[in-house]
Every structure is written in C-alpha cells, then in structure tokens.
Structure 1
Amino acid sequence: MAPITRSAGSVSVQERPILHSSTGIDEALALVMEDESDLTPLEDVDQVPEKQPRTPKKKAAPKKVPVEDDKRPGEERHSKSRNTRKPRKRATSQENTVTDSEVPPKKRKRACKPEPIYIIPDVEKKATPFRGRLGYACLNTVLRTRKPANEAIFCSRTCRIDTIKKNGIDWVKDLGRQNAEDMLKIIEWNEKNNIRFMRISSDMFPYASHETYGYSLEYCAAVLAQIGALAKRYGHRLTTHPGQFTQLGSPRGSVVRSSIRELEYHAEMLDRMGIDQDGVMIIHGGGVYGDKGAALARMKDVIKHKLPARVRARLVLENDELCYNAADLLPVCTELAVPLVFDYHHGMLNPSPGLPPSAIITQANEIFRRRGIRPKQHYSEPRAGAVSIMELRAHSDRCQTLPEGLPDDMDLMIEAKDKEQAVLHLYRIYDLCPVIHASLRPPVTHETKETKGRKSARKTRSQK
C-alpha cells in the first residue's frame, strides 16, 4: 500500500493508513526503518499485542511493557516494567565505612509542649468557723504529671519482688532515695501553696519491712534528716498510714510479726526525719476473724506487750467502714491511751449507734490532748450517684463541704482522688487560704462511680 504524502509548511509528512493485521504492522516498521530521518518515530508500536486465543479458566500473565526513561547524556538507558521492579543495589562494605571526617547526625530534641491553658470554673461560696489545717495523702497530681515523664515528681516509686531478684537490693534502695529526694520538692510546693499537712506514702522505701528483702534506712539518713528539717522550718505536719495488711488482731503469728515490722519501718522513717510526736502512724482495727471480741483482745495484748516503745508512741487507731466502728475502738483507745482518728466517711457507712460524730470527736480529741499530740481526723465523701456499698466506699474526686462542728485546733486530712486539688478546691469554697491560680486544675466533667482499682486476679483467671 502506497503512503499518502502531504505538505506541512517546509516539512513533508507522510501519512499512512492504520493497519490492523500483523503483516501490515511489519510492513510499516520496515518503511520507517528505510527513512527514519524524515519521519516522526512511531511510539509504543510494540504495545499493540498480537491477538492470542484466550485460554479458558487461566488468566494470562501481564505483559512487560518497557518504557524509556529520560536519562542524562552518557547514562545507559534501561527499561522499566509496570509489574516488575529492579532490585535495589546493596551498599558495599566500602560504602558503609564511615570516614573520620563524617560526623553522625545529632538527634533532634523533642520540643517541650507549652503548658495548656486550664479553664477553672467558679465555686459556690460557703462559710465555716474552722481555721485548722487541711492536708492530702501521698501524691501531688500537678507534680506527678509533669512532662517529660522522667521529670515527674512523686515519692511512691515501687516495684515487684521479681524485679528485686533481677536487679538487686541496691537498685530498690535507690528507688527509695529518689522518693525521699522528691519529698523535698513536694514540701516546697506545698509551702508555696499554703498546704502544711501531708501524709507520706507508705511506699517511699519499697519492701523495707519485708522479711526477706527488708533493709535499714541508714543509707538514706542524710536525706531523711533534710526532709524533717525542711518540714520543721515551714511548720508542716507529716504523718503515715501503713497498709491494710497491718493486722495487730490477727490469730496468725506470721501476720502479726509482719505487721510489727511494718510499723517499725514507719517509725524508723519518722524518727530519722526528727519528726515530733505529731507525726503519728494510723492503722485500722483490721479483721474480726469470726469473733470481734477475741480479735480486740489480741490487738490490746500486742499493743501492750509486743510493740516497741517508739512504735507505740506514734500509734493511732482509725474506725473503718466494715469491721470496727468508733464505738468498738473508743474503749480500747481510752484504756491504752492510744488516740483515735475518726473518719467521717467510714462513720457514715458504719455508724456507732447512740454516738453521733460530735460526741466521738470530743472523746477522741481528749485522748490526743492527754498525749500532747495535735488532734487530727479524716474526711471524704462518696461519689455522686453511688448506691451499693462498694460504690459508696470509693472516695469522690473532691469534697464539696466541710463537716460541721470542727474544732479550730484540729488538722483534717482530705482523702479525695484529686489530692492537693481537693484541698485547693475547699480553700476556694471557704476562703481558707490564698490560692495560686496557676496551681489549679479543672475537675472532671462527669465523675464515674467506678473505683478504678486493680481487678481481682481470681476473677481475671475465671474469665479466661
């Protein structure tokens, strides 16, 4: 078939008809090769596949289509396929060698995020004649949540026994030293914010009272002395509250011995701080073990005959919400001259028949004064909407009121989840002390009734 020729300016362009057969394509290619200088190249001619019979039930593999890459002069041209990728060239050992002149790039430091702007809601103002000290327990939420995490300040770092076995006792003792050093910073923050009453965490020295892994606090004596001196200079009161496993009325000798070791550890910590008699140690009555009278008799015997004098000098009992109300403990406290801390929340859940809180406070504070110790009591509120006993036992995030009839010379420990924020909240409500606005944090919008505590291991295993 003869080509069709037309003139386009000074350039002669040959137009050829579209050829559909394979023979026609071969002829067209041959003509192009004869006079390539006068014609624009036919691109992608080889992309027109030759018709092949379709194989049933088998998909034909995609055909590789080479595409020319734009290359700089002197570079070798190569083809790429849409369905295959040329493997990357691995660097040789010579290429991986870092010369002396090369310097590894510096790690870019993460920029510190600016402190968020908190919207603090107004509070409903109330009045009270109380002018004593309010305190909080163990943890400062503002300092604990500082960023970055390695700059957080808290005095309750702890671990598991498996970690002690792995890292050694010196590693655990170093945790205690860090906790004690952070206690100095917490006291400074408290002073700045007019909070002069605090409970020290029982976990400040992890496993210090353990039968196998226990240790003396002599190694940290200097830091403990600094804590006591700082608290004394500012007029702060520091107390402790050993854990629920401290059971002086237990029928098991091993439990009683562990309880005494725990009390000795707390007494040593307070003694090394140089804290005076106001630094008390509060424990609950414990379990009834099927016979409350027998349990109380064992508790009295341990206090009178088995506790070291320095431990008994700081011991204080507290009513609880399940086993021992204030009426159960007041006779023991009066007989042994052991002060009683009255917990308002526990008293609400486990009341003393015929003995209102005002009468309990009067009798309890009399024992404190007889011993020359400044009276202290505990206050907390259940969460809004709580109904069941388990829900009612949980402390609210913050307290909205103060109990009536509080003596002016008494310290009141606020046992709330928001810790120092709960104290500052009451400061604002009752105008008890000046408040630094930058130290305030907003409360949660909706307070849950769940305790957020650790779930029972027994229940977890049963669900698997």
Structure 2
Amino acid sequence: MPSKRKHSALAQVEENVNVAEIASVLLSPVPPTLSENPQETSVERKISKRAKNRRAAAVAVADDTTVSPDTGLDSPLTELELDTPILTKKKRRAKAKDIPEAAADGDVVIASKRKRRTKAEGFSSAPEIDSEALASPRKRRTKANEPVVYDIPPVETRETDFKGRLGYACLNTLLRASKPESVFCSRTCRIDTILKHGFTAGRDGGEGMGEGMDYVKELGRKNAANLMEIIEWNEKNHIRFFRLSSEMFPFSSHAKYGYSLKYAREELKAAGDLARKYGHRLTTHPGQFTQLGSPKDDVVEASIRELDYHCEMMRYMELGKDSVIILHMGGVYGSKEDTIARFRGVYTTRLTDEMRARLVLENDEICYSADDLLPVCEELGIPIVLDYHHNWINPSTLPIPELISRIKVIWSRKGIKPKQHLSDPRPGAETVMEKRAHADRCKALPDDLPIDMDLMIEAKDKEQAVFQLYRVYRLAPVAHENLRPEKPPKPFERSRSRTTLEPGHGEDIGGMVSSYCESPDPGADSCGSQR
C-alpha cells in the first residue's frame, strides 16, 4: 500500500501553488508547467480539486484587477499571502488507493481517475479494428415482410341445387383485423363517455347538445363510411347478403341521448346506392330486449323507438322492401296467449306503416316455436324467418316441407323474398343451454332448403363460414389468400350440478333465465347500451 509520505507529498504540492502562478496560467497562451524541472515536465500532471478551487477564487479576484500582459498581475494580487485562507467547500481528501504505487518518496504525483483499459490494450493478440467499419453507421436488421401462408385443408365437396344468396352478420373478421385501421360498423361508447365530453339536454325533450353528442355522432359517421368498404369487399368476394349492426349509430334510439340520423344522410345514401348497384341485400336484427309483447309500457316504448331508428337508417339508405327488420316475440311473462295478444295490439295500433312493412318474426329456441308464431303471423301477414338451429332445439310439430310451404305463402303476400337462418351447435353440446351456442362454422346446408331464398349464416367465423360452404358446394370462387384455418373447438366448462332448461316455457329454472325473458334493465340493448 502507498505510504503516508506519498500522501503528504500531494498536499505539499498544492500548498506551493500560489495565486499569482494560477492567474498567469489562465492568461498565458501556452499552459506552463508547475515546475521548471525537466524531469517533472515529462510527467503528465493535473491540478487537484483543492488547487482548482483556489484557482477559481483567484480568478474571481482577478476580475476586479487590471492585468498587464507584460508584467503579469497588478499589485493587489501579488501581495496576497500564500497562507491566506480561501473559503471553499470542503473536499474529500485523496485516498491512498488513488496514488499510483510506482510513485517514489518525494515524487510529485497528481491523483487522477484510473483509465479503463480496453480489450485491445490488454491483449497483444487483439484483432485489428476496421476504422471504416466503425465510421459507417450500423444497419439495423429488418424483419422480412413476407405474407403469412396459412395451411388450409381441403374440403369434401357436395352437390346442391341452392341458387340463393349466403350472408353473414354484422362483422367481417378479416377487415376487423386489418392494419393500420380496422374496418367495422359497430363502434360504440358508454354513456359516461358522452357525459365526460360534455352533454346538455335538449329543451322539451329535443335532441341533446354538446361535445359528447358530437363525439357519439362521429362514431356513427365513421361506421357508415366503413359500411361502404365492407360492401365493396363483399362484392369482390361474391357475398351479396349482409346484416347491418344495430350499433351503427350508438344510442340513437335512447330516450335522453337519442338523435336523428339526418346529419349522416349523405353517408347512408352513398352506402345504400352502392348496395343497390351490386344487388346486395341488407337486413337488421335489433337486440333481444326489443319486445313488443312486454307487459311494461316503458319496455314497449323503448322497443318502438328502436324500430323507428332502424327504419330511419333504411329510409336514408333508400333500401327496398327486402331489407327487413327481424324480431323475436320475446318473453313469455307467465302466459304465451296474453303476450301474443299484447303484441297483436301494439302491432296494429302503435306501429307505423313503415315499421309494419319491414317487421318479420323469427322462431326462437326457448319460448316460441314456429307453431306458436304461425297463427298470429298468418293473421297479421307477418313473414316468419325459420331458424333451423332453433327449430332443432324447440321443434315444430309440422314436417319441415309443410312448415316452409306455409311460411312461404306469407312472404309472397308481402312481395318479399324469403330468408332463413342457419347455424350449428358447438361440438360436444349436451344440455339445452349448451346447444344454444353457435359453432364457428356450419358443416352443411339443410336438406329441405328451398332453392329460391336467402340464407343468413349465423356463425362465429362470419365470412369464413360463408367461404367454407362456398368451397363445399362450389357456390362461388374463393380467393385462397382470404381463407383462414378453423380453430379447434373449445370444450364446455361444466359444473357438477347442471340443470336443464325445458324448451317452450322460458321460465327461470335452476337459476338460469332464458335470454328472451325480460331484462332487469328494460332500457338496455343486447350490447349493454342504454336504449
């Protein structure tokens, strides 16, 4: 270890540096050495921290003193005593390890930070470094933008005489996942978002105002603009049947936050013109909480506002009579007969002609079978949309050909092309509640499917489910780059105690309530928005 004498030598050097010498160093064009000894000039020296502090103090005094280039400092500085104390911040004394071990007694050594050796300095066999390579910036390795190639298994083809259109509902999975911006028609928000942006209620029940309303309206405008992109994509891929999302214009039918669609009439007309140009059929299916047979008048009022909103949207799009609005009868409320009677009264006395012209009913899997709907639909001239999946769970007593024949007569009376719904249950379904869930795709077309009607495919994979049937039955060409492999089915999560909901009743059995029974919040739609 270095001796204390070496440490004291450092302090002695710092004491011998007077203020005059420091000032001359600052004013000299060539920095002089601290000593004229030739042996000391060969050694690289630095002024310690304490000497630097004294030099700074001397410079502060020199600022107020006239300095002559020839004679050096003026008299006030030259008369300073070497032992004059200078008020500076106390610094840490140099530790012994900061003094090089090679310093001998009496040598003048200035402490400095150790210089870290590089690998090239430490090893004589280090490879030579290319200076040109160091000068040029390093190029970052870019990721190859190669398209993803999906393994699409072949399908077993079948024959069919079906000549109608296959469609899908509300969302295109490919466009929804597109980059940099998704394309879809169901942008929505929460009421809290409207209030945070700012909302002022309208006078006498009129339309509200504020930045919150501007925000939600802009969502609707964007949805309408994206609808045109979906129609164009569908046309390129030979899909000419599509269900519009009921969330196209969020909260439009709400009692407090509702608004007219007149502001978006240009976007809606452009989308309608495009659909008519290509011969596409567009329909809607309001949420399950739209129940005209409810015993509560506020639920009926909300349902009528919902129908009015859908009619207004189709009116600005100038869609024909084939663009229907599909509803379910709804909950049982203790008596099917009483519920159907209330529905009949609302339909005949409270709906507008435009609503009655577009309204059709669909059989469901829990409460109302096709047999339950046929009498009132034949009486009022309301077309029935036959859902094959629902009829499998909650079947009609009539054979399918006879049932379809009676349903087709009602469609003909209205002059509307018939439509039906198709979906498969999830694999492994056992109970009624499990069988209600839709599979990702459909395996086959129904055996009794009429050849002159349109079929809506209600499957999780949306357009991919349509492509699957296109390939199986060779109904239309399919671009391979638009195909995606089917995901393996997810198993059901079952508890030890399971209860079965009997179709045809819609009662609360074992704590499970049919989704078609009345909502605890009558003003909420199927997506949780307040209507």
TM-score w.r.t. length of structure 1:
0.74
How high is the sequence identity, in percent, across the aligned residues? Answer: 56
Residue 473 of structure 2 is matched in structure 1 by 430
Equivalent-residue separation in structure 2 for 1:414 and 1:27 (angstroms) = 93
Structure 1, residues 428-458: CA drift from partner, whole Å, max 9, x if none?
Answer: 001011111111111113444479xxxx9x9
Structure 1, residues 306-348: CA drift from partner, whole Å, max 9, x if none?
Answer: 1011111100000101110000001111000010001000111
Q: Given residue 154 of structure 1, which amino acid in structure 2 is its aligned partner? A: F
Residue 356 of structure 2 is matched in structure 1 by 312
Match of 1:406, SS state, is coil
Equivalent-residue separation in structure 2 for 1:414 and 1:200 (angstroms) = 14
1:135 and 2:167 aligned: yes
Equivalent-residue separation in structure 2 for 1:399 and 1:68 (angstroms) = 84
Equivalent-residue separation in structure 1 for 2:359 and 2:299 (angstroms) = 18
Match of 1:130, SS state, is coil
Equivalent-residue separation in structure 2 for 1:310 and 1:160 (angstroms) = 30
1:361 and 2:404 aligned: yes
Match of 1:307, SS state, is coil
Larger Rg: 2
Structure 1, residues 267-304: CA drift from partner, whole Å, max 9, x if none?
Answer: 11011101000000000010010111100100011011
Q: 2:241 pairs with 191, 197, 201, which one?
A: 197
Q: Do the aligned partners of 1:209 and 1:261 also contact (CA within 8 Å) in 2?
A: yes
Q: Given residue 198 of structure 1, which amino acid in structure 2 is its aligned partner? A: F
1:165 and 2:195 aligned: yes
Q: Given residue 158 of structure 1, which amino acid in structure 2 is its aligned partner? A: T
Q: Given residue 404 of structure 2, which amino acid in structure 1 is its aligned partner? A: I
Q: Do the aligned partners of 1:242 and 1:262 also contact (CA within 8 Å) in 2?
A: yes
Match of 1:334, SS state, is helix
Residue 186 of structure 2 is matched in structure 1 by 156
Q: Do the aligned partners of 2:185 and 2:224 also contact (CA within 8 Å) in 1?
A: yes
Equivalent-residue separation in structure 2 for 1:450 and 1:219 (angstroms) = 47
Equivalent-residue separation in structure 2 for 1:320 and 1:310 (angstroms) = 25
Equivalent-residue separation in structure 2 for 1:27 and 1:322 (angstroms) = 98
Compute the displacement of 1:115 (Å): 3.5
Compute the displacement of 1:166 (Å): 1.4
Equivalent-residue separation in structure 2 for 1:68 and 1:129 (angstroms) = 99
Residue 122 of structure 1 is matched in structure 2 by 154
Write the mapping of 1:6-85 to structure 2, written as runs, cut at 5 A. Answer: 66=97, 77-78=112-113
Write the mapping of 1:245-264 to structure 2, written as runs, cut at 5 A. Answer: 245-264=289-308
Match of 1:412, SS state, is strand
CA separation of 1:77/1:166 partners in 2, compared to 1, >3 Å: closer, same or farther? same
CA separation of 1:180/1:26 partners in 2, compared to 1, >3 Å: closer, same or farther? closer
Equivalent-residue separation in structure 1 for 2:258 and 2:4 (angstroms) = 98
Q: Given residue 397 of structure 1, which amino acid in structure 2 is its aligned partner? A: D
Compute the displacement of 1:356 (Å): 2.3
TM-score w.r.t. length of structure 2:
0.65
Residue 262 of structure 2 is matched in structure 1 by 218
Write the mapping of 1:329-340 to structure 2, written as runs, cut at 5 A. Answer: 329-340=373-384
Equivalent-residue separation in structure 2 for 1:293 and 1:65 (angstroms) = 103
* Equivalenced residues, count: 363
Residue 225 of structure 2 is matched in structure 1 by 181
Q: Out of 242-251 and 440-449, give the one that drifted further.
A: 440-449
Match of 2:291, SS state, is coil
Q: Which runs of 5+ in 1 are unaligned?
A: 1-21, 31-36, 38-63, 81-107, 459-464
Q: Which runs of 5+ in 2 are unaligned?
A: 8-38, 40-94, 101-108, 116-139, 198-211, 495-514, 521-531
Q: Do the aligned partners of 1:278 and 1:373 also contact (CA within 8 Å) in 2?
A: yes
Q: Do the aligned partners of 1:68 and 1:78 also contact (CA within 8 Å) in 2?
A: no
Residue 146 of structure 1 is matched in structure 2 by 178
Q: 1:294 pairs with 326, 331, 338, which one?
A: 338
Equivalent-residue separation in structure 1 for 2:351 and 2:358 (angstroms) = 11
Q: Given residue 414 of structure 1, which amino acid in structure 2 is its aligned partner? A: I
Q: Do the aligned partners of 1:395 and 1:415 also contact (CA within 8 Å) in 2?
A: yes
Q: Do the aligned partners of 1:378 and 1:414 also contact (CA within 8 Å) in 2?
A: yes
Residue 3 of structure 1 is matched in structure 2 by none
Match of 2:420, SS state, is strand
Q: Do the aligned partners of 1:397 and 1:447 also contact (CA within 8 Å) in 2?
A: no
Equivalent-residue separation in structure 1 for 2:178 and 2:420 (angstroms) = 31
